[in-house]
Amino acid sequence: MKKNYIWLIFLLVIYLITIILMSKPLKGDELRYLAYAENLTQGFYTDSENPDLSNGPGYPFVLLPFVALGSNLLFAKLLNAIFVFIGICFLYETLLFYTKRKFALRIAIIIGLYPPLIKWMPALYSESLSFLCVSGFLFYFCSLYQKKKKWKSVILASIFLGFLILTKVVFFHVLVVSTIVLTILIFIKKTKKSKWALFVALGTFIVTSPFIIYSYSVTGKLFYLGTRGGEILYHRSTPFEKEYGNWFSADKILKQNNDSSSEDLTMLTLNHKEFYLAMQPLSNIQKDSVFKAKALENMKAYPFKYFKNTISNTSRFLFNVPNSYQLEELKTFGYIIPNGIIIVLFGVLCWPAFLSRKKIPFEVNAALWFSIIYGAGMILLLGKPRYFIMMIPSLILFLVYGYSHILKISFVRESNIT
Q: Does the pLDDT of residue 346 top 60, yes or no? A: yes
- Is residue 415 scored above 70 in pLDDT? no
AA letter at 177: V
Question: Over the stretch 257-306, which tens digit does the pLDDT of each residue have?
Answer: 555 545 678 899 999 999 999 999 999 999 999 999 999 999 999 999 99
The DSSP secondary structure of 16-79, one letter per residue, reads: HHHHHHH-----THHHHHHHHHHHHHTT-SS-SSS---SS-SHHHHHHHHHHHHT--HHHHHHH
- What pLDDT sits at residue 257? 56
Amino acid at 64: L
Compute the distance between CA of residue 224 and CA of residue 227 in angstroms, rounded to an integer: 8
**Hey, which bits of 336-408 come out as E strands?**
none
- Please, is 242 exposed, middle or buried when counting C-beta atoms within 10 Å of its C-beta (0-12, 13-18, 19+)? exposed
Angle at 342 between CA 376 and CA 181, to 5 degrees: 35
Q: What is the pTM of this model?
A: 0.93
Cis peptide bond prior to 65, omega within 30° of 0? no
Using the 8-state DSSP alphabet, how is residue 149 labeled? Answer: -
| Integer CA distances (angstroms), 390 to 36, 120, 241, 382, in order | 23, 13, 31, 14
Classified as helix, coil or strand, 125 is coil
**170-206 confidence digits (pLDDT tens):** 999 999 999 999 999 888 877 788 999 999 999 999 9
pLDDT tens track for 357-388: 889 999 999 999 999 999 999 999 988 999 99
